[in-house]
Structure formats: C-alpha cells, structure tokens
Chain A
Amino acid sequence: MNILNIQHVSKTYAAHKALDDVSFDVPAGSVFGLLGPNGAGKTSLIRIINQITGPDSGSILFNSDKLNKDHVQQIGYLPEERGLYRKMEVGEQCLYLAQLKGMSRSDALKKLKVWFEKFEIKAWWKKKIDELSKGMQQKVQFIVTVLHEPKLLILDEPFTGFDPINANLIKDELLKMKANGTTIVLSTHRMESVEELCSHITLINKSKKILDGSVKQIRKQFKSNIYEVRYIGHPISLANGLWGGFELLESLPEDDHNYAKIKIPDDKQTNHLLQSLTSEVQVMGFNELAPSMNDIFIKIVSEQAPSQN
C-alpha cells in the first residue's frame, strides 16, 4: 500500500527545468528519504505534493485518490526555511496555524497543551516569537507541523538548528509517530539520519530520479564485496593464501596485529576466503565493508557530474 504515487511529474520554471518525468512511490508507514544535492528539484517536488504549485504534466495520487485540496489537512509540512509571525504570541500563532489546517479551536488548544507540556515550553505561551531563540522557534514550528496528526509528514531538513539533545527529542517523536502509522518523508543532506531512520529512499539529481527503493535493497545493489580482515601473521603469508581471484586492496600493520582489505570476486563466497585465510594466518576479525548511504550518494552524483557539461 502506497500513500503517495508520483507519476511522471514534470515542472519547468521559465528556462529552468526543475523536475523531469519523475516517478516513484512512497509506501505507507515508511520513513522515506528524499535525497539529492542542492538544486536537484526536491523542494519543487515537495511544493507540488503540498499543492503550493501544480505540476506541468504528470499526476500524484494520495491514498490512490488524485491529490486534491481536501488532502491538505492530512499533510504536515515543515519547510526548510522556517518562518513564523515575529510579532505574534506563540499560543495565538499555534492556534491560528492549526485552525488553518482545519482543526477546531478547542481541539487545537487541547492538543497544544499536551505538546507544550511534553516539550516543557508552557511558559512561552504568551511570549512573542521575536523573544525566543532560534532553537525555541524550531520547537514551536515542529509542534505546529505535527499538531493536526497528519497521515503524511513532509520534513525538509528537520534537524538543522537543533542541538543534539533536542535533535534526539525530535527523532524520538518521529519514531513514535512512525509507530502510530504516520508516513514521514524526509528531505535531507545528512546521510547519518538517513541511515538511522529511513527505510526507503529516492535520489533525485538534476531534475531526474536516478535511484529509488528500500535502503536494504539499495545497499545490496551497491554491495562492493570488500571485506576487512584483522589477523595475526605475516602479510606475505596472507598474500600466499589469496589465489583464485581474491584481490588485496590494502595491507597495513595495526597495533599488535595486521589489517587488510580484500575484494571477493563475484563467483566466490566469504567462506571461500575464510578457508584460504585460516590455513595461512590467524584471523582475529572479519567483516563486510558495506557502502554507507553517503558513499552511494557521492558515487552516483559524481558519476553523473561529467555529463552535466
């Protein structure tokens, strides 16, 4: 079951093509990473999902219905550029924005009280936004985004501007919401949060989708078959064992043992390598050198770079 189906969406601004035939699905209940370098078209796509602008061609389905104005209440959106009315009181402002999302005033008030207590910011209710620090404003804005309990939460760089403690607080809240069935679309450059939270990703570069799928699947796809070995024994003995296609990429001494990076050919398994090694040296540690999302991201984007000019 997908909460969003993006189908062949294109959008052009004047001479600039922001999105070029982008299609992907966002599974319901997932934490979905929308990745891409600056200017790739992420914000354009998010604005189209939020119905701030419309696509030139293509369509978007929300829970299998064509996206329409009624869906606005089921979507929560935290834009990258945060903003609130500076001269307005925190409480009034939250109530106003919640009502614009279709909540009743009393319902909004009740839920706001819970959130303000949870975040320990009850004392700010009567303060003006101007009087709060940047981090405090971010907290208020986060509450406003999630208050109406949207089915789909779209967060553009949600962790910037938070100190580590508050970033954790937000992350915990996001995981709780995920457990309750909320789908979260995360647009970010911070790959560590992608690794930590996302189950699915889409990578957009230069207006085009170039990769999507579950994180597991993508990791598999970009599997390098490189393994780290820590062993006791002479490096030459190790090299002796490596026949039949194993490739020694790196060999270093390390404290009281040695370290090596070895690539296994496609027709061999890890057990083959272990068998050859154990006859020559004493293996202390052995693990796969899996590509990080960061590596994958950089790899794909830089592979594409030359075609740009």
Chain B
Amino acid sequence: MSKIGLIIKREYLTRVKKKSFIIMTILGPVLIGGLYGVMFYMMLSSSDEITKIKFVDESGLFSDTLKRSGNLIFEKDTLPIQIAKHVYDPNVFAGILYVPQNIVEQPGSAVYYSAKQPGLATMENLETLLQKRVEDVKLNLMFSRMNVKDFDKNALKEIKTNIDIKTKLLTDKGEEESSTGVTSMIGFGGGLLMFIFTFLYGVQVMRGVIEEKTNRIVEVIISSVRPFQLMMGKIIGIALVGLTQFLLWIVLSAVITTVISGFAANKIDTKKLMHSSSMKQKMNLPQGNENFSLEAGKDQAGKSNPVGMIKTSLKSLPLPLIIFSFLFYFLGGYLFYASLFAAVGSAIDNETDTQQFMMPITIPLMLGYFAAIGMMSHPDSALGYWLSFVPFTSPIVMMVRIPFGVPAYELIISMALLVLGFIGTTWLASRIYRTGILMYGKKPSWKELGKWIFYKG
C-alpha cells in the first residue's frame, strides 16, 4: 500500500472506531427522524381544522369552480388586492389568496397573504388546486389550437405547470416575505448541513494536526513521508469519515422516516375510518356495504395525507441533482477549508491558541450561513447570486439556490471555481504546514506565516 494510503487508512480507522463516532451516527438520524415526526404531528393537527380563505381572483379562471377544497373554505372578494389587504381581518380569515391575471403565463406570480405563517399542508393544498386549474386551461387552449392527432408527449410536458405560491406575512410593519415551501426547506437544510459538516470535520483536521505536533510524533513521520502526504492523508481520511457518517445517516434516516411515515399514514387512515364507520353506524347502513365504505375511507385518506403531499412536492424537485451537488460541494467545500484548518493547526502548539487564526476561516463560513438564512425568503437575491460563485461561500449558498433551479452554466462555473479554490488553499496551506509543524514555542505572527509560505523546501 502506498504511504499516503497507509495514512488515510489510519486516520479513517482510528476515527470510525471511536465511541463518539458511533454515538453521533446513531443520534443524528434519530434527531432527523424526530424532527420529521414533529413536522407530521404539526401538519396532522392543522390539517383537521377548517380554514377560511379570502380569494382575490384577477384571472377570472376560478369564478365558479372554487368554493371548498378539503378543509379550505374560499370566499370570493371582488375588491382589488391592495384594498383587500387593508381590510383583511385575521380573526375571520386565515389569509388572502391572490391570483393575478397572468397566472397561466407566470405560474410563480400567485401570492398568499396572511397574518400567521401558513402551514405546509395549506400551501400544498392551494398549490395543487391552482395547478390543476391552470393545467386545465392550458389543455383547453391547446385543443383549440391543434388537432387531437398532434397531441403528444411534448404537448403534455408543455401543459405541466409548477405553481409556486409566494407567501407574504401581513404584520403591523407591513409586508414580509416568508417561505414555507418544501423547496426552501430542502435548500436551507442542505446549506445548513454543509455548514455544520465543513466546520465539524475541518476542526477535526485541525485537532489531528495539533495532536501530532504536541505529541512530537510528527518528526518521526515526516522522516518517512513528505509533510504534504501527511497533510493530505489526514484530510482525505477525515473526508471519508464524513462521507461514511453521511451515508449511514441517509440509510438510517430513510429507515426511521419510513417507519414514522408508515405510522403517521396509518394513524390518518384509522382516524378517517373511525369517522366513516361511525357515520355509517348512524345511518344504519347494511353490513354488506362495509367493504365499499372502507375503500372510500382509504381513498379519501390517501388524498389529503401530508406524507403523500410531501412526496409529491419532493418529486417536483431535481433530487438527483441535489444529492450530486451536495456530495460535490461537501467534498469541495471541505477540501477548501480543511487545508486551511490544517495550516492553522500546524502554526500553533495547543488548541487554546487557535482563536486568532480561526477568525479568517470562521467569518466566511458564517457569512455563507447567514446568507443562506436570508435566501430562504429571497432565493434570487443579488448577494446570494454572487456568493454562490465565491469558493469561500459557494458550497453553502449554492445548496440553497439549487432546489429553486440554477442554470447549468452557473453551476459549472461555481464548481470549477471551487475546484480552483481548493487547489489554491491546499497549496498555500501545505507551505505553511511543512514549516509550522516543526516550530515550537512562540505563537507566530501573521507576518511570519506569510514568510513561511515562501521558504525554500
């Protein structure tokens, strides 16, 4: 086995065998599963309530069709939206659904105004409703334009519409954009995970370097291998630990959430079933009809089941792209930062001295994180756009943008810049590292670090 292979193997095995790794691996999915469970619980409890919604329809598409859908009751309002917003009484109506004239051409133009953050279930319900109607209209338009013969798969694709209702909170101060969509949750979740992983494993690299330095074993090892091999071996070994943990999390989370979803779906079914069977008893239906009503109950449960709803909205997302980019940006972002963390570890003797040199690493990471929070409600902001190209922030920020759709060339530029970025930081860090690991005593100044970069081998 090559020497760098040996180093990777050691770094990997010592960490994977640790108790803390095993605990984290089990605890992570349990926490994710728990969150998932809480989400369902909240949706279940809200989906039972009857919600009254004021409906301002400028498109004229819904004049007669929209009265009630599931738990949503609509009341049409002919006032212009600007006035409707002002006279809106949150005690009577949960919110105002505004459909502009050009909804067919611009499926993202619908807005939902409310005083409180609307639930996921409500929003999914509204979006499905609008979507069906817009698709109907498109279909009719198409039929009037062409013969049935020409109607093919391409035409069907054209009809397919993805309605995205913006949510705006009406507060005393005015309007605030908010987002409840699965899209932004997935995006932010990806960005957050990226932030946590980069930081967590970057710090592990730094600790490993400090450990070797304070143990003084580093001198023995670099008399056998080049400092660069030792640094890269450590970085790659820890990256593999991260990937292992990540994959285990995915597998375990999938198992846990499947169990929870199954349980939740089951609960809805029985709820609805009990409801229908009690009705049936009141109506004294003959026993022979029981089969039929069971079927009906199940069918009804399936339609308004939040699990199903999340699944459909997940389907509209480019999941393979998200997972691929997550892995790419995780590796890229980690490699970008890990070498910097290694350089910091090499420059100091103990962990209490890290503060000063950690700052320049922490600040861009935090910037990316805060940008990600901001972008949940403004996914198209200019700041987010530019930060998604800068390698310091792109791994976090781009993850937030991807679920909303990013042009391929932007993604490629961002990824290429990240690759260049980590080659650059690795080069820079390895220069500091090879000098730093042999320096003991006084904490170096920034100027000295700069000099180390230009030392001859």
Contacts and interface: CB of A to CB of B under 8 A. Distances in A.
A277 B223 CA distance: 60
A97 B457 contact: no
B283 interface: no
Interface in B438-457: 438, 448, 451, 456-457
B223 to A, nearest CB: 4
Contact of B6 (A72, A81, A99): A99
B10 A83 contact: no
Interface in A55-104: 56, 69, 72, 75, 77, 79, 81-88, 96-97, 99-102
Given A47-B438, A54-B457, A84 B223 contact: no
B216 A75 contact: no
Contact of A83 (B3, B14, B219, B456): B219
Interface string B108-133: 00000000000000000000000000
Interface string B176-197: 0000000000000000000000
Contacts of A100: 3, 6-7, 221, 224-225
A165 interface: no
A153 interface: no
Given A56-B456, A88-B14, A96 B6 contact: yes
A51 B219 contact: no
A52 B223 contact: yes
Contacts of B359: none
Contacts of B219: 47, 52, 77, 79, 81, 83
A130 to B, nearest CB: 11
B382 interface: no
Nearest to B215: A83
A295 B225 CA distance: 40
A119 B6 CA distance: 27
A52 B224 CA distance: 9
Contacts of A77: 219-220, 223
Nearest to B213: A83
A278 interface: no
A53 interface: yes
Nearest to B451: A14
**Dominant SS at the B interface?**
helix
Interface in B202-223: 211-212, 215-223
Nearest to B216: A83
B1 interface: yes
A258 interface: no
A53 B223 contact: no
B1 A99 contact: yes
A102 B2 CA distance: 9
Contacts of B448: 14
Contacts of A47: 219, 438
A81 B216 contact: yes
Contacts of A75: 223
A56 B306 CA distance: 70
Contacts of A50: 223
A144 interface: yes
Contacts of B1: 99
A160 B457 CA distance: 31
Nearest to B457: A54
A4 to B, nearest CB: 15
Contacts of A102: 224
Interface-central residue, A72, A83, A88, A102, by most chain B CB under 10 Å: A83
Interface of A: 14, 47, 50-54, 56, 69, 72, 75, 77, 79, 81-88, 96-97, 99-102, 141, 144
25 contacts: A14-B448, A47-B219, A47-B438, A52-B219, A52-B222, A53-B438, A53-B457, A54-B457, A69-B226, A72-B224, A77-B219, A77-B223, A82-B216, A83-B218, A83-B219, A84-B217, A85-B217, A87-B14, A97-B221, A99-B1, A99-B6, A100-B3, A100-B221, A101-B224, A141-B220
Interface of B: 1, 3, 6-7, 10, 14, 211-212, 215-226, 438, 448, 451, 456-457
Ordered nearest first, which 8 A-B pairs have the shortest CB separation? A83-B216, A83-B217, A100-B224, A81-B216, A50-B223, A83-B215, A54-B457, A79-B219
